[in-house]
Structure 1
Amino acid sequence: MLFNHFGILGAFIIKLIFVIRNTLLFFFLLTCSNITLAQHIDSLKIELVKAEDDSIRSALLYAIGSLQSDNDSAISYFNEALPIEKKIKNTLQIANINYAIGLNKFRKNQLDSAIYYWEIAVNGFANSYTDKNIEEVDGLLANCHYSIGLGYYYSRNYSKSVSSIQSSLKLRLTYDDTNSIIGCYNILGIIHLAQEEHYEAEQYLDKGLYLAIEKSDTSSMVRMYVNLASIYLETKKYNKALDYSQKAYELNGGASNSANAPTKMNIGYIYMHLNQLDTSRIILREGVKIFAKSDDVRGKITSLNLLGDLYVRTEEWNNLIDVSNRCMLLYDSYNDVQEQKTTAYNLSKAYDNLGNEHLAYKNFKLYTAYKDSLFNQEKAKEVDRLEARYEFEKKEKNIAVLTEENLLKEIELAEDKKIRLIILVVVGFFTLVFALLFLVYKRKQEQRQHKLALKKMEIEQRMLRSQMNPHFIFNALNSIQSYISTNNSYQAEVFLSKFSLLVRNILENSTQEFIDLDKEIETLTLYLELEKLRFEGKFTYEIQMELSDSSVKVPPMLVQPFVENAIIHGMKGKAEGGKIDIFFKGAEDEVILCEVVDNGVGRASDRSSKSSHKSLSTTLTNDRIRFFNQEKGGRFNITIIDLQDEEGKPQGTKVELLIPVSF
């Protein structure tokens, strides 16, 4: 968690939105400086009523729309001008109007609609070149690509965002437009940083910093230093992060500039990581006071949570509760899942340490809900990375094809008529070859796109409950990849089928407090089948049902963590012959006895191996059992028995779990 200069994106796009308006306004102020903007608009409307020529009417509509402060009014005037320009076939002005509509859609946060109009504008600009306007159109195209890149960035479609910004950068480099080049490097660095691609982010930001220093552009230097500091903090290079943050702070006016509050908070946060806690406390509290006097709600929340992180480190639980509750009040007017997750976790931890189990559990549930929401966002990022890789490979191949075609054209122009005839034959031959290659290439791309779509669907549907060990999901996906890599499609199909059924069961069960015992056993069976396949049959299992009524209700996913431990720890070191038995018996009235028995290495041998693994799902299961016993008067009980042979050597582990079926 750190303040960074994402805000520069908003500033840049606002600058783009007002560029047409400001140009027209400047003209009017030069000619009639004592006339208000509203009076100018009224005079334009009067001229509009009088105008009979289509080109004049369209120009007036465009001017009035550009001067509107209300987005809907501006779009209305642009839409009225658009059919007139289409009628007179003014391609360049049609593109300008579509671009202006996109800007106003962006201001209304209608990102998909804004991107749609900007992409129409790109096509229009591309078809508007003449011998006299190449530089002008290149500049318009560069702005348009940059705007599209911002739209995709805010839509979290990072692969398309990078592609659009790179198109803008290519045009800017042609004309050595340093300010715009720095802006492109900055946003590319921010996009890669958002995807935790630290090396790529650092490369782009270093390029931007070099140009900013060369040009003595202080504001750009501040931006680059702050964003580079974000990278170094995330990669735990704390001294370098502190150095860059302090440079940004001093360049931006130090304590005399209230706009330096975010950088001040960053410096305090870095001091905390350097374990200079007193210095960190002083700086962070000063930053919180500055934000408290501002209207920046997001800044207030982030500053309070940063101070909260320090209180966690120093175990100042009452202070932590104070700043976290202040954050909770601010979330009514500003929704940020990442910050809400941090606040909920801090409150849970504080109340737990102060012995208030009820509020600790309540806030931990909130933390889990926010964490699940962020988990889905991370899966979306993974899909974006796959798309980025696909787009990159596609562009590389297209560049190779274009390079070859350009070479053939140069040869054709250089040779005489006789050689040209030969070249035409060769070109015809290569054209045929390229056509065949293109068909093959297109087919492969369609197949790759199809696989990518399937992968995206799979990732989006994979929302596992937090009781499930994330390592299992990772290992399961690795197993599927291994089967595919070795062309074992049948085994991959079997594994993937069982895995999807397991995920579906978990998703269905996770919304219910109790499920049928039959459903719990079905889920356990799927899990064991998958692990058995992954471990290549190194163990067998058996589930025995000794109850007359299997439709009783039990909490979902209660037995699985103990089965997981039996596999991961009990079967460790056994090449073959592993055995796991699961029994469901009637213990007493309204209580089921579940036994999980393995013939593994035992707990003593596992401890002697100094294993550092700790099952999160087992910990959460213990918390659930504690909650049921304390809050609902349940009779849950867990007993773990170390099995031994006649000589006292470890012979496995037995877990006895008493499960009440009603309360």
Structure 2
Amino acid sequence: MNIINTTLQIFFTLFIIQVFTTQHVKAQHTLSDTLIINSLIEDADSIMVNNPKLAKTLVDSASIIANELNVEKFKNLCLKKSVQSFYALGKYQKAINNLFLLLKKYEANKDSAQIALCNNDIGTAYTDLQEYSLSLSYLYKAMVYYDSREDDKDKATTISNIGYTYLSMKDYDDALPYFQKVLPIFTKLNYQIGVSTTNNNIGRTLVGQKKYTEAIPYFKIALSINTKLNKKDGMAMTINHLGLIDYYLKNYDEAIVYFQKAAKIRKEISNMNAYFYSMNNIAYITNLKGKPKKAIEIYENLLAETDPENDSDAIIMLLTNLNKNYASIGEYDKAYETLLKCTELKDKYFNIEKNKQIEELKVEFETEQHISEINNLKNLTSIQEESLNRKQMIILLLIGSLILIAGLGYLGITRYQLKTKQKSMELEQKLLRLQMNPHFIFNSLSVIQGYIFKGSANEAVTYLSNFGKLMRNILENSREEFVLLEKEIETLEHYLKLQNLRHDGIINYTIEIDENLGMDSVRVPPMFAQPFIENSIKHGMNEENKFNILIKYTKKDDKMKLVIEDDGIGINKIDNNKSSLNKHQSLAITITQSRLQLLSKRKKGKFNLLLIDLSTGNTNKSGTRIELDLPYLEEF
């Protein structure tokens, strides 16, 4: 419905422009033309935040008149406003394309001030695209032009943007000096918004360095300035950060008070997405305090406030957390209902988003077509009937091209989605088959049968319980791209307990978790460790001696390192055994490498697998060491 309304608004605006242009005599630089352009730009500015699509249409309309006048001042003004409208729409690459057009003009005129501003804006847009190397490149280009100038707002803003880029990269040590350098400049210039933003950024940087108490004064200064300026969005953001600090310091009651204040302000200014996240924090802490039923009540009340059309991300988040809370108090039926609803909504919102993108492409293309048609109508008013017939043929061809392009685009997107989904399903099925190895299942059932024959009912129940939990976890984890580290460790514990029972307790296993990794807040790709643990036990263990195996999760920069190390016979000796048993190990390596390649593409990183024989270069030591680089997600 929103797309239809926007489309009608666009065509209505274009109709007005068409009426104007058909009556407009050859373009001249007159007062009325100037007033029309300024009026359209002012209207676009007034709705840029709340209705960026219509604002973009108004800017395009102003551009038609500016190009008709062929006055560089107005053409540049419209180009700048188109950058702002693309930015408001989240189309950063298109904003960058227009910035390059402006940059080319300013470089031709050798306008150093505008060149610096353009480089700054390009760098900022690349930061939002997470293209950090390109961002820093253009920001430093801007600084080249500023080096010869006295400290002013533009120069200070670029310095601050460099710091913000490092902050976005989580490179806190490099970010802090830039913010510390720019703060006295903004203070001297009495640029209060800059002072507020910089104090907030310093606070965020110190939080990233885990210097929580040091961050508090900076956030309070930012809050004071935002309050004086009545910038409620800034007030809410800063209050939310203060709540996070109390959460990290485990001052849960104080944290809840801050989040309640932030939520109240965000609701007042109709920033519902941020409001739901603040309230989610309150529910999360309430659960931490041992009140899961109260947390459930908060989640259910929040879900009642959501708008399915506009709050899809918040709904998914709330349902996910509600599912965890129901499971934590043993209400598994409700947990299953919320999980099922969450999965259905994810699929629904995915399809809606793709259809929305296709519709937006159609609207954008149709808008450009109509603008082109308006220009053609103006140019063809004095041409004879033969020219008009030719124009009609061109329009028909363009409409046909539009239909063809839209159809091909839709088919291309659909084919890509199906191909990606098929590849993911194939990997999921292979991984599931690998995890649920028929030999392991058969051996497990044989062990249970043995306990029953011996009359060892307690041992049989214990083994069967672990086996059931393991199977359930494997089935659940195989459907998720990321699972909580806590659940992954639980799965490994069940598996290792079964193996130890089966091998008469000769397996000594240790699972070490980096203290910087929160078991209940860090998510990892599931089921990477188990196939290699199985290979270690199956091929590397000597039944006559104790077998030691270490599983270690550590945090390394923006990756997680998983290490699996045993003191068995070593991978080189395993490889020398040319038996069919190696097929399972080869399959584990092949599937793992395929999963790592898929994760590298999706997460834009490089994740590797390394196999090491510990006897290499050390004849007194034996065993195998597996090292995996993995992505991880950290949630509050």
> Structure 2 length normalisation: TM-score?
0.48
> Structure 1 length normalisation: TM-score?
0.47
Name which one, 1 or 2, has greater alpha-carbon Rg.
1
